[in-house]
């Protein structure tokens, strides 16, 4: 293996050659597959004599022709990763290359591979080079045709991008289909599927009256489980027209579900390929969370048609250009389909639990990374989720209409192009004549800014001052940071809990009006741009309680001087529902951290009665949305708390969280009981906000009750388990029971498996639940499950459920004896031989090893070192492991 090479954004160069048309012919076979490609090539600069360098990995070259003339050895160079033509003809020419590949042996699941007997592709980011020699980079945009030839019985369905223009039967039991995609595209959006599939068909009529055929393809027995995906697709198509004026641009839209897939789904032009977990759902087999994920991801991939496909990325450093924007769009879509506040809470929790730790660790990178070894490693929560927050800030600053103007200009300028994050920024700015100060730093500086706020009221002057100071912590390669542009949405509550009218703010030596149409506003966005800065609200006639960073207007850590009683007040009264939740979380975080300190000093733990009272009033407030209540009474996760500690102490955090949960359960037992009683499901499962909210609240209450050492409560959970009529309730009851070891635990888990053994998606839930268990010594059980007949290391979903689930357990993954680390270390090396992308995701669980005590550090480091010293390590795992050790 060559030494892994780091690739830098600053080294970007335009390609020397462009491709105009690409004709692909696939002959799919059991032993081998032949790929014939015919490309028309032209130089970027006329008369150029630069070599043409094509990427190619794991390919067997059969022949190569230039303008119809076969090249001999010596006319070209071939190495492990490239095919180079040292002196191609001047001007336009055609290049024909035949290659042989073996999809049946491809366990990496990138390029062309087989899943359950069917052929399918995954080309993003750099998988196309495993199919044929090509300039595998997104700024090469070409028009494709694709002819697929295969056995007719084994592969009755043949799909690729665009429109079907020809099909027919051939000798020897074969048939073929020819697809033509009228839109230019980068090769990462190419797709091919061939296999035994059936479809659910529907149509969507666009707002300009065009009829689009929609087809969702799965194995025949799963077609009934695609109704929700189809509903989601149609809703997404309509939403994009309504909100962004964006219409679908072809007459056919295909979605294919495959069981073996590294990621969630892929937006290939008009042929989205999905992990079947994000397509298949029925009330009996999928939970509300699954239904919501399907809605969001079907939306996400569909929205990519404009933000990603019509306008794509110049290079992979720009990934957030399409992903941050498209995540933002799918978040907004889900908000509009359900509850905006609850969706925002879920998204912010995800950011805090996953992105903040990444931003504070050895893999920290900006939304637009400066370098990478393997691009696959940069499909991260930073690029996706923090990237979406960056897009959200444009909208916060510009308003809905201003943001829309920016989007319109972006498409007007760049349709059909491969562009950069600056191009998006410029469209937003130019469309609005906006002053965005140093906003671009959000793309280049890594690390979560810490913003401190202190407030003071001047009763004589009737002014209220907010003083901000900000600090961006150092991250690898970026020791010193500049202050960022942080939009802080603020409202001020009066003593009755109402928003005070805001008219003007004194800032930077001038008095600025914040009124809108001469009317005072109830909330305003402060533009914090300096290291230290003061904003003074005028005409404030009583001491207010500030509601800061409303709706979480910037992806920062906010440290305010609000007292507990201020926070309880906000929890009870803030008109910004997100901040009501947030106040409760701030209180819970403070409480948990102080109990962790008590635990570490072996002091007895006691729960502040005010906290219990605060949660009780939320739990019993009939005016509140039930899903909001469920979120508000849920404590911050262990990861979030560990992330806030000097030295993360998983045992203490777990003990404290468990203590608070049990304490709440016993003190609020009757409230939780009546919550369960009053929110049982009706017979029929409905996926809508009201019903989901009811289930969420009931199941949150049940989980609390299940934590009690109380056989009556175990009976209750068992009863819920037995009477459940949908997976949401059934699985929630199972989870409640499985918190405690014992016979009921064992019996119910066995019963669940027996019931669902023929549904692999449900079996994965069963794996995950057991893997995540905090019952001490669970590593042995997980090791046993590795040998369970339903487990398979080659299937990413199974790995994510069992291994990924295990890494989420503070008790067992971080077990003091190192047994959890050792287990993961072994698995990573096994996985790396099969599927480097999946291995790399798993090894990431080690990346924050320095956050723990010395003895854990030593144990985790040993595992990383063992991994690093393994022969033939993939670049994927090399990058994560070496950066973790650096």
Catalytic center residues: 301
Pick 265 or 398: Cβ nearer ligand PHE:
265
Q: How far apart are CA 6 and CA 135, in angstroms?
A: 19
Site string for ligand PHE, 314-353 (x = CB under 6 A): ---------x------------------------------
Q: Which backbone phi and psi does 25 adopt, to 5 degrees?
A: -130, 120
The answer to whether 132 and 59 have CB atoms below 8 angstroms apart is yes
Q: Is 239 near ligand PHE (CB under 6 A)?
A: no
Pick 307 or 553: Cβ nearer ligand PHE:
307
Pick 377 or 679: Cβ nearer ligand PHE:
377
Pick 326 or 739: Cβ nearer Zn ion:
326
Burial class (CB in 10 A: 0-12, 13-18, 19+), 163: middle
Q: How far apart are CA 395 and CA 131, in angstroms?
A: 40
Q: How far apart are CA 549 and CA 116, in angstroms?
A: 48
> In the bound complex, what is the minimum distance in angstroms from residue 410's beta carbon to Zn ion?
17
Burial class (CB in 10 A: 0-12, 13-18, 19+), 10: exposed
Binding residues vs Zn ion (CB under 5 A) = 323, 326
Which listed residue (300, 365, 507, 798) binds ligand PHE by CB under 6 A? 300
Q: How crowded is residue 652: how many other Cβ atoms within 10 Å of its Cβ?
A: 20
**Pure H helices in 53-133:** none
Residue 519: helix, strand or coil by DSSP?
Answer: strand
Q: How crowded is residue 742: how many other Cβ atoms within 10 Å of its Cβ?
A: 12
Which listed residue (55, 96, 98, 124) binds ligand PHE by CB under 6 A? 124
Task: Give 425-469 as a 3 state SS string.
Answer: HHHHHHHHCCCCCCCCHHHHCCCCCEEEEEEEEECCCCEEEEEEE
Which listed residue (191, 263, 618, 827) binds ligand PHE by CB under 6 A? 263
Pick 388 or 664: Cβ nearer Zn ion:
388
> In the bound complex, what is the minimum distance in angstroms from residue 772's beta carbon to Zn ion?
26
The answer to whether 368 and 439 have CB atoms below 8 angstroms apart is no
Q: How far apart are CA 726 and CA 301, in angstroms?
A: 27
What single DSSP character describes residue 314?
Answer: S
Write out the two tokens for 429. Answer: 């700015």
Which listed residue (267, 574, 832, 879) binds ligand PHE by CB under 6 A? 267
Q: Which residue is nearest to ligand PHE (CB)?
A: 263
Pick 212 or 319: Cβ nearer ligand PHE:
319
Q: Which backbone phi and psi does 716 adopt, to 5 degrees?
A: -60, -50
Stretch that binds ligand PHE, among 249-257, 261-269, 621-629, 788-796 (CB under 6 A): 261-269
* 741 alpha carbon, distance to own chain's centre: 33
Site string for ligand PHE, 362-401 (x = CB under 6 A): -----------------x----------------------
> In the bound complex, what is the minimum distance in angstroms from residue 186's beta carbon to Zn ion?
14
> In the bound complex, what is the minimum distance in angstroms from residue 116's beta carbon to ligand PHE?
18
Q: How far apart are CA 416 and CA 401, in angstroms?
A: 24
Q: How many residues in the shown chain lie near ligand PHE by CB under 6 A?
A: 12
122 binds, among Zn ion, ligand PHE, none (CB under 5 to 8 A by kind): ligand PHE
Stretch that binds ligand PHE, among 120-128, 144-152, 242-250, 591-599 (CB under 6 A): 120-128
Which listed residue (149, 288, 301, 574) binds ligand PHE by CB under 6 A? 301
Stretch that binds ligand PHE, among 250-258, 259-267, 621-629, 713-721 (CB under 6 A): 259-267
CA torsion through residues 233, 237, 239, 244, sign: positive
Q: How far apart are CA 552 and CA 580, in angstroms?
A: 11
Pick 270 or 679: Cβ nearer Zn ion:
270
Q: Is 648 near ligand PHE (CB under 6 A)?
A: no
Which listed residue (197, 257, 266, 648) binds ligand PHE by CB under 6 A? 266
> In the bound complex, what is the minimum distance in angstroms from residue 413's beta carbon to ligand PHE?
23
Q: How far apart are CA 350 and CA 640, in angstroms?
A: 10
The footprint of ligand PHE (CB under 6 A) covers 122, 124-125, 263, 265-267, 300-301, 304, 323, 379
């Amino acid at each position: 293996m060559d030494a892994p090479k780091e690739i830098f954004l600053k080294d970007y160069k335009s390609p020397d050659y462009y491709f105009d048309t690409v004709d692909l012919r696939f002959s799919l076979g059991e032993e081998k597959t032949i790929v014939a490609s015919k490309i028309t090539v032209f130089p970027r600069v006329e008369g150029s004599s630069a070599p043409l360098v094509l990427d190619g990995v794991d390919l067997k070259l059969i022949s190569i022709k230039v303008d119809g003339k076969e090249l001999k050895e010596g006319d070209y160079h071939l190495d492990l990763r490239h095919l180079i033509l040292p002196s191609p003809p001047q001007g336009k020419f055609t290049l024909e290359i035949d290659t042989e590949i073996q999809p049946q042996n491809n366990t990496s699941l990138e390029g062309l591979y087989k899943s359950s007997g069917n052929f399918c592709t995954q080309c993003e980011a750099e998988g196309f080079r495993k199919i044929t020699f090509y300039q595998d980079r997104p700024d090469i945009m070409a028009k494709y045709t694709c002819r697929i030839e295969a056995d007719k019985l084994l592969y009755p369905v043949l799909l690729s991008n665009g429109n079907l223009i020809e099909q027919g039967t051939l000798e020897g039991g074969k048939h073929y289909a020819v697809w033509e995609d009228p839109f230019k595209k980068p090769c990462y959006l190419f797709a091919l599927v061939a296999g035994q599939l059936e479809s659910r068909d529907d149509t969507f009529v666009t707002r300009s009256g065009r009829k689009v055929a929609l087809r969702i393809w799965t194995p025949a027995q799963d077609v009934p489980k695609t109704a929700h995906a189809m509903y989601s697709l149609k809703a997404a198509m309509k939403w994009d027209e309504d909100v962004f004026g964006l219409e679908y641009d072809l007459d056919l839209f295909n979605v294919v579900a495959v069981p073996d897939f590294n990621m969630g789904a892929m937006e290939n032009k008009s042929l989205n390929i999905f992990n079947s977990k994000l397509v298949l759902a029925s009330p009996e087999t999928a939970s509300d969370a699954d239904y919501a994920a399907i809605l969001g991801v079907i939306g996400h991939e569909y929205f990519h048609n404009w933000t990603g496909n019509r306008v794509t990325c110049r290079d992979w450093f720009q990934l957030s250009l399409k992903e941050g924007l498209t995540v933002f769009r799918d978040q907004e879509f889900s908000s509009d389909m359900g509850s905006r506040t609850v969706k925002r809470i879920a998204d912010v929790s995800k950011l805090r639990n996953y992105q903040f730790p990444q931003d504070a660790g050895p893999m920290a990178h900006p939304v637009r990374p400066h370098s990478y070894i393997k691009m696959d490693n940069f499909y991260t929560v930073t690029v996706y989720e923090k990237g979406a927050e960056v897009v959200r800030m444009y909208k916060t600053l510009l308003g809905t209409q201003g943001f829309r103007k920016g989007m319109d200009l972006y498409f007007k300028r760049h349709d059909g192009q491969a562009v950069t994050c600056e191009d998006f920024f410029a469209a937003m700015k130019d469309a609005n004549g906006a002053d965005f100060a140093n906003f671009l730093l959000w793309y280049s500086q890594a690390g979560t800014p810490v913003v401190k706020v202190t407030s003071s009221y001047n009763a004589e002057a009737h002014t209220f001052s907010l003083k901000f100071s900000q600090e961006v912590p150092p991250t690898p390669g970026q020791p010193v940071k500049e202050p960022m542009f942080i939009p802080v949405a603020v409202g001020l509550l009066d003593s009755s809990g109402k928003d005070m009218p805001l008219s003007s703010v004194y800032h930077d030596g001038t008095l600025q009006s914040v009124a809108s149409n001469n009317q005072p506003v109830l909330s305003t966005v402060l533009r914090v741009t300096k290291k230290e800065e003061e904003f003074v609200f005028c005409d404030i006639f009583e001491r207010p309680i500030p509601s800061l960073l409303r709706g979480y207007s910037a992806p920062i850590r906010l440290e305010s001087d609000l007292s507990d009683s201020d926070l309880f007040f906000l929890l009870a009264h803030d008109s910004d529902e997100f901040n009501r939740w947030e106040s409760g979380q701030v209180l819970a975080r403070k409480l948990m951290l102080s109990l962790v300190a008590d635990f570490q000093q072996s002091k007895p733990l006691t729960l502040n009665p005010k906290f219990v009272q605060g949660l009780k009033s939320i739990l019993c407030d009939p005016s509140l949305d039930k899903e909001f209540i469920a979120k508000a009474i849920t404590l911050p996760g262990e990861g979030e708390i560990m992330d806030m500690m000097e030295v993360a102490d998983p045992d203490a955090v777990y003990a404290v969280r468990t203590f608070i949960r049990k304490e709440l359960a016993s003190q609020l037992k009757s409230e939780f009981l009546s919550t369960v009683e009053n929110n049982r499901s009706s017979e029929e499962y409905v996926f809508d906000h009201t019903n989901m909210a009811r289930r969420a609240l009931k199941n949150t209450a049940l989980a609390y009750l299940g934590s009690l050492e109380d056989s009556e409560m175990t009976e209750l959970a068992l009863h819920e388990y037995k009477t459940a009529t949908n997976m949401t309730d059934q699985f929630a009851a199972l989870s409640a029971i499985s918190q405690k070891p014992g016979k009921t635990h064992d019996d119910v888990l066995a019963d669940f498996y027996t019931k669902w053994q023929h549904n692999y998606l449900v079996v994965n839930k069963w794996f995950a639940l057991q893997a995540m268990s905090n019952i001490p010594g669970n590593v042995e059980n997980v090791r046993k499950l590795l040998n369970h007949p339903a487990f398979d290391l080659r299937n990413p979903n199974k790995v994510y459920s069992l291994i990924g689930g295990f890494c989420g357990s503070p008790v067992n993954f971080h077990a003091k004896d190192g047994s959890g680390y050792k287990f993961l270390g072994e698995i990573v090396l096994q996985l790396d031989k099969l599927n480097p992308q999946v291995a790399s995701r798993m090894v990431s669980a080690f990346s924050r090893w320095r956050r723990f005590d010395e003895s854990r550090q030593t144990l985790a480091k040993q595992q990383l070192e063992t991994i690093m010293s393994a022969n033939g390590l993939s670049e994927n795992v090399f990058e994560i492991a070496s950066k973790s050790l650096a």
